[in-house]
Amino acid sequence: GADDLETGKQYDLPVLMTVNDQGKFIDQVTLVAGQDFKAADKTIIRDLKERGLMYFAGTYRHSYPHCWRDGGPLMYLARSTWYIRASSYRDKMVALNNTINWVPKHTGTGRFGNWLEDLKDWAIGRERFWGTPLPIWRCDNPEIDYSVCVGSRAELEQLSGRELADLDLHRPYVDEITWEVEVDGKKGVMRRVPEVIDVWFDSGAMPFAQWGYPYKNQDRFQGQYPADYICEAVDQTRGWFYSLHAISAMLNESVAFKNVISLGHILDKEGRKMSKSRPETFVGPWDVLDKYGADAFRWYMYTSGAPGEPRRFSVELVGDVVRSFYLTLWNCYSFFTTYAELDGFDPTAPAIELSARDPLDRWILGELHLLVQRITEAYENYDAPNATRPVEQFVDDLSNWYLRRSRRRFWKTESDQDKIAAYQTLYECLVTVAKLLAPAMPFLSEALYRELVAQIDTSAPDSVHLCDWPQANPACIDQTLVDEMRLVKNLVRTGHAARNNAGIRVRQPLAEVSFGVPSTHDAEVALRYRDPIIEELNVKAVKILEAGAEMVEYRLKPVDTLGREL
């Protein structure tokens, strides 16, 4: 392997290839001539022992390359090929890498950074039947040391004297192009070298090749280079990430991309790496898309963990997204449309002043604009989980607190200012959430927007994806009210947990609920909001325990099996 080769170089050992292209020992190795390299292990070990040359023979567990097709063991062959002297640009690549925003950071400083620190020359030649040709033609006369690197179709036409407009420039078709030369009175034929170019060179040259740069479209190239953002799996640190970075550093001494998200691998529900060769681990994309759709699929991938870490995946996990978030949001939308249509609500009517609205309205609007701030900041920092997860919490608050606490306002028969304010508040929340969801759930957000906005307001953009991004309005954020309501919700959540632990259903009324809170301010807030707490927990009274009061009662019960002292 590579380690053996490098060790041999340190001791000036010759590079000898005793195995042919079929993985069998060559005839000169008479002991095991014609045998498969792996099958010959026992014969070689026995021979070394018999000649007293064996220091140690044993078995140890380590990673080893195997063929992905048949699972057979592989070995490295030393081959003569073409190289780019990438090592001479090592320091430049390291310096440029330090200017890139990597997500997660440790991929840039660790896996990719370490790769650059120990950078070797880039072997770009490959032996393939088809591919992008290495554009080098050599004279076939061994007495003539002459070669040409062809830079364009036009140059190849000029050298060969042929019209090549319809020629497929890939190998093997381009190999048909030859021409005669004469150097110092000696004649020969120019033929292309047999190698094709490493496909990663193709991918890394994409920013330049797509515009024909530097021969044309210089302005278009400069306007779109370097890329603001790219994204691929972590294994591309030695693939696309490297080829982009290396070619850009060597050509322009600049980065090819400013920001990059490096994704962890997808595992099955048991935490095993997915592979088509192991059907029990593999989840086909259409199994998920046909059952739950692309939006739920995408949302799970965004919210299930940091993008750089491996994550488990299954159809059932995507189903959890649908039940816990997707349907909750859709139910909020259905609630709004059902009652808004009955009452003839007009979302284009003048908005009621914020100060004239119910505290519940002002609270949820404060949470909404805080959400806009948080989501915007997360997207700007390429933080996918924090650009999506907070929406789930907001929708939960919207459904399980705001709507549940406001239902009577929607149900009452008179369409007074309070009812209109509730409609306007819920409408603003739904439309803003649709816009915040647009990058991650494009289909659901579009459906919500078209029903809520596009079909009603003819002056609005036709699609949510044509709308401006929401802007947070600090005037709508009453931080004191937000903090107070969060405290009340936490107290109610704690009360429900206590009921569950005791096995007492909410429908069974209780005399009182007692809370221990950390400050006098929190105690005042809890008592001021005693009415919603009483309603939510189905109790008669709310009691705040004095500071230092014991909330846990300890009882010692003798356990004979633990001994006399216990």
pLDDT tens, position by position, 257-292:
999 999 988 888 888 887 777 777 778 888 889 999
Model confidence over 492-522: pLDDT tens digits?
999 999 999 999 999 999 998 988 888 889 9
**Local structure of 479: helix, strand or coil:** helix
pLDDT of residue 413 exceeding 70, the answer is: yes
pLDDT of residue 145 exceeding 70, the answer is: yes
The per-residue pLDDT for 331 is: 95
The per-residue pLDDT for 63 is: 86
Domain positions in the chain are: 1-78, 83-124+199-263, 126-197, 315-477, 500-544
Q: Which amino acid is at 491?
A: L
Q: Which amino acid is at 265?
A: H
Model confidence over 333-370: pLDDT tens digits?
999 999 999 999 999 999 999 999 999 999 999 999 99
Give the integer Cα–Cα distance in Å for 471 and 57. 70
Tell me the two tokens of residue 254. 């600049």
Model confidence over 219-230: pLDDT tens digits?
999 999 999 999
The radius of gyration computed from the CA coordinates of the chain, to the nearest angstrom, equals 35
- Looking at the domain 315-477, which fold is it? Isoleucyl-tRNA Synthetase; Domain 1 (1.10.730)
In order of 166, 328, 552, the CA distances from 375 in angstroms are 51, 20, 40
The model's pTM is 0.81
Answer yes or no: are the C-beta atoms of 113 and 94 closer than 8 Å.
Answer: yes
At a CB cut-off of 8 Å and minimum separation 6, what does 218 contact?
none
> Which residues pair with residue 126 across a beta bridge?
196
Q: Please compute the mean of the pLDDT values over residues 523-530 and round it to a whole number.
A: 90
Model confidence over 288-315: pLDDT tens digits?
899 999 999 999 999 988 888 888 888 8
Model confidence over 40-61: pLDDT tens digits?
999 999 999 999 999 988 888 8
> Which sign, positive or negative, has the C-alpha torsion 236, 238, 242, 247?
negative
- Paired sense of beta strands 179-183 and 125-126, if any: unpaired
Dihedral angle, C-alpha 485, 489, 495, 500, nearest 10 °: 170
If pLDDT is split at 50, 70 and 90, which confidence band does 550 have?
low
Burial of 296 (0-12, 13-18, 19+ CB in 10 A): buried
pLDDT of residue 251 exceeding 70, the answer is: yes
Report which DSSP code applies to 134: P
Report which DSSP code applies to 162: S
How many C-alpha atoms does 90 have within 13 Å on its Cβ side?
12
Model confidence over 73-117: pLDDT tens digits?
998 888 888 999 999 999 999 999 999 999 999 999 999 999 999
Give the integer Cα–Cα distance in Å for 251 and 267. 38
- With residues binned 3-state (H G I as helix, E B as strand, rest as coil), the percentages for the chain, rounded to 5, are 50, 15, 40
The per-residue pLDDT for 562 is: 64
Model confidence over 452-499: pLDDT tens digits?
999 888 899 999 999 999 999 999 999 999 999 999 999 999 999 999
Dihedral angle, C-alpha 401, 402, 408, 413, nearest 10 °: -160
Q: Please compute the mean of the pLDDT values over residues 384-404 and round it to a whole number.
A: 95
If pLDDT is split at 50, 70 and 90, which confidence band does 16 have?
confident
Give the integer Cα–Cα distance in Å for 500 and 513. 14
If pLDDT is split at 50, 70 and 90, which confidence band does 448 have?
very high
Q: Chain-wide mean pLDDT for the chain?
A: 91
In the block, tokens 């759930």 appear at: 441
At a CB cut-off of 8 Å and minimum separation 6, what does 325 contact?
299, 392, 395
pLDDT of residue 553 exceeding 90, the answer is: no
Give the integer Cα–Cα distance in Å for 447 and 463. 9
Report which DSSP code applies to 259: E
φ, ψ (nearest 5 deg) of residue 181: -135, 160
Peptide bond into 104 cis (omega under 30): yes
Model confidence over 173-226: pLDDT tens digits?
999 999 999 999 999 999 999 999 999 999 999 999 999 888 899 999 999 999
pLDDT of residue 555 exceeding 80, the answer is: no
The per-residue pLDDT for 15 is: 84
The per-residue pLDDT for 314 is: 86
The per-residue pLDDT for 311 is: 86
The per-residue pLDDT for 394 is: 97
Q: Please compute the mean of the pLDDT values over residues 124-148 and round it to a whole number.
A: 94
